[in-house]
Every structure is written in C-alpha cells, then in structure tokens.
Amino acid sequence: MWKQETELKQTLARIISNEKVTYNTHLIWLDAAEIASSAQPGQFVSIRCENLLLRRPFSINQVNSTHLAILIKIIGEGTRWLASQRKGQRLDILGPLGHGFAIEPSARNLLLVSGGIGIAPLIFLAQRAYQQHSITLIYGASTSAELCPFSAPQPNMPKNFTPSPGETRIILVTEDGSAGEKGTATSILSPFINWADQIFACGPAAMYLAMSNIPIDGLKRSTCQVSLETIMGCGIGACYGCTINTRKGPKKICHDGPVFQMGDILWQEMKI
C-alpha cells in the first residue's frame, strides 16, 4: 500500500515536547521534517544517546506534518537519558530505517495486536489506515499503569461493536485484570481472527510464539505481519548483528525488517 523505499536522512532534531505518559514511558515529539515526510508505518529511527557507543532504535509512533513522535519505555541507560531531555534540546537521529507494514489492496478489516510498548508503531499504522479500513486494536499490558492513556477506548462503545471505515475499536487487556479484559493480547485473539483480512502485531517474542502456536486453521500466517523488537548494532544492515533465520534464508531485522510475514520466521530458532 505504501512505498517502502525511502531515502535515509541524518539530522539534529529539536525536541518539541517530552511528556511522561505512564510511570515509565515518555512520548517525545521531534521536529524532523526530512524524516517525517517520508516515514511509513512500521519503520524506525536510530538515536544517538550520550556516552553510548551504539545508537538506540525506536519505532516511529506518530507523524504530524513536519514532526514525528517516538514512544520510549525506560529500561536502561539510553532510554533513561532520552527521558531526561527537555524541550528545545536536539537529538541526533537517523531514519527512516527498515521496511514497515504493507496493507494488501483487497484488505478491508485490519486487526492490530499489541503487547506493551509494541503499541508504538501500531498507532502510526492505525492513523494512516483508519479512513479506508475497519480497524480493531487489541492492546495488552501487564497492568493498567502501563497502558498509554492516548490509546483509551471510546466511551460507551458496545462490546460487539464492528467498526466501519473511519472508526477504530480498541480492546484493552491486562494480565492482572486492572483494566479491560483479564489475560493477554493473545488469550483473547481467537474470536477476532476470522473477521480480519490482515493482522499486524508488535510485541515481545513470547507473544509471537503464542501466536505461532494458534492452530493453522485459525491464524493465517500468510495474512499476519509482525514487527520484531531487538537490540541492534548499526541499524543499517552493515554489521549483521540482528540476523535471524527465516524460510527465505538469513535476514537482518534492521534492514530486511523489522516487519516480516509471520509464516516466514523459523520461530523454533528464535531466542525468547
């Protein structure tokens, strides 16, 4: 649906805003016109963090005119440093990187499945696709405190609501039952599979492993695209540090992905 070949740019992007959206997650908007103008859902940017040798990859969460947003979860030195940066400061970013999601021309019903911080690229996808497609987004987290508030469901939406183009049904699920359904994103997935023409997922490897074990007559691997989250070295395909085995041979997540067809990945060889 979208052109995937984009010209790589490096820029010093000014921070427009840095908002704490959960106790350990920040939404950072950047003024990065050259990258924002060509970015596609599922692609990412690579950011240089102070005192760290390797850049850190982040999915593009939203694009608005000349600005783009990243959603960061504080888990280490790099993300902790990024979360401390203030409005007006500049970040050295490289992007857009990788190959993103691809919607088939015949697809009308899109099912988006998110686990934790995996919500980041799916928001961008939903924003680009919702006017021409019916979208159901399953958003899972450990507890309500980890759910980003901008993804809250519409008020008074009936449980059996079927979205029309221009509408999005959002279903929250938490492992402790503190918000929405109790369970995981994959535990409530089955009833929605037959509705979907295509499935797009982003989350931890354990979530994908659970999805890959859904019976073949349920989840159609050929219609499911997954975005792999991983530690990267160069981010541009030069170092081979993020190589995985697929049915089509070795592939580099940063260069050939991060989005892959679920059925192409040899899940038994993935490190969980």
* 116 and 234 fall within a common domain: yes
Kindly indicate the confidence band of residue 156, based on its pLDDT and cuts at 50, 70 and 90.
very low
Looking at the structure, tell me whether residues 117 and 73 fall in a common domain: no
Same domain, 155 and 229: yes
Amino acid 240: pLDDT:
74
Question: How many folded domains does the chain comprise?
Answer: 2
Q: When comparing pLDDT for 239 and 137, which is higher?
A: 137
Task: Based on the fold, state whether residues 90 and 146 are members of the same structural domain.
Answer: no
At 178, which CATH number? 3.40.50.80
- 186 and 236: one domain? yes
Q: Which domain holds residue 66?
A: 9-97
Global confidence as pTM = 0.90
Same domain, 248 and 114: yes
Residue 86 pLDDT greater than 70, yes or no: yes
Q: Is 52 contained in some domain?
A: yes
**Per-residue confidence (pLDDT) for residue 155, from 0 to 100:** 37
pLDDT at 103 over 90: yes
Rounded distance between C-alpha atoms, residue 244 and residue 226, angstroms? 14
102 assigned to some structural domain: no
| Residue 206 in domain | yes
The CATH code of the domain that includes 62 is: 2.40.30.10
Out of 97, 129, 157, pick the residue that ends a domain.
97
Q: What is the dihedral of CA 140, 142, 146, 148, to 10 degrees?
A: 10
Residue 235 vs residue 77, higher pLDDT: 77
pLDDT of residue 161: 53
**By the 8 A CB rule, do 65 and 9 touch?**
no
